[in-house]
Amino acid sequence: MPDSLLSKRAVVPSGALVFYSDFDDFSAWKNALQLHCPQLEVLHSSEAYDPARIHYVMAWKPPEGFFAPLKNLRLFINLGAGVDSLVGREDLPPDVPVTRLSDPQMARMMAGYVLFSVLRYARDIPHFEQAQRRGQWSYKHPRSPEDVRVAVLGLGELGGRAAQELHRQGFTVSGWSRSQANIEGIQCFAGLGTLDTVLGGAEILVVMLPLTPATRGLLTRERLMRLPRGAFFINVARGTLVDQTALTELLQNGHLGGATLDVFEREPLPADDPLWRMENVLVTPHLASVAIPTSAAEQVVENILAASSGAALKHVVDLSRGY
């Protein structure tokens, strides 16, 4: 057994942890956390518990008022990378630190989803899917990857990893972020003044930006129109980064050749939304990247023990910036 695991097993953290999520597996998380720290009491939010004993919350989009009775809260662990649902909340005290998951498996999973989506368009797979439904042998010669221009908006931990994977596969990759990034093999742009240039050169656009007050609604109709006619659009970030009505219309009129959408303005996507029935759109239910308890639990326990002892935390989020 690793020394780090032995040392965590010997530490008794103060207080208990309460867990809230509508879809994450509580039992899997509880088992994974207690594997690294058996002394940690892990409770589900549906159980009866004494709010005064709760020092840690691990949750995804807890309802308004959730934090109000937790007067001894020392740490909030966000069950995911995006923290937009926490920005501006009145029930979360400003002195309570918020940490995000930084699971290497999440970055790998996201990079895999993005690579699949880009390859699907680069290799004309939707064309062959439609030809198959018609019973038609419709050959299209493959293009060289370096001839396919892919732009990634957002070059943080997940976006940077995805951009690197696309570059490794031979695509010509550019990246854009609000502040300058430097990634080997990627032409990196920064600032709103360069966004139109990036959009104008993208045959395939991958959206991986955090949702902040500065990025909400960033991809307006006008900016989407900057994409070359027939370009493909992939969104694995947040639906409200994009004018979804404009996106739908541009997919319908052919300005955009197709879209792979994992996120939407409203989730679940309403049953009457036209995106469901469009042949040039692939819809997935916000699953491009999720935290895996067995690989993420150790870092969560490390932060819990740090919060318990007053030590420095890792992966702290600045809610004023939104990431």
Q: Which residues are catalytic?
A: 238, 286
The 3 state secondary structure assigned to 92-116 is CCCCCCEEECCCHHHHHHHHHHHHH
Residue 73, Cβ density class (10 Å: 0-12 exposed, 13-18 middle, ≥19 buried): buried
Report the largest interatomic distance among the alpha carbons of the chain, rounded to a whole angstrom: 67
With contact defined as beta carbons under 8 Å apart, do 106 and 81 qualify?
yes
The total of other beta-carbon atoms located within 10 Å of residue 175's CB is 28
Close Cβ partners of 169 (under 8 Å, ≥ 6 residues apart): 115, 119, 145
Alpha carbons within 13 angstroms on the beta-carbon side of residue 182 total 0
The two three-digit tokens of residue 288, written as one number: 């491009």
- Residue 216's Cβ-side half-sphere holds a number of Cα atoms within 13 Å equal to 8
Pair of tokens at residue 98: 């918020």
CA distance 278 to 282: 8
User: What distance in Å separates the CA atoms of residue 150 and residue 156, rounded to the nearest whole number?
Assistant: 17
Closest by Cα among 145, 208, 142, 126 to 175: 208
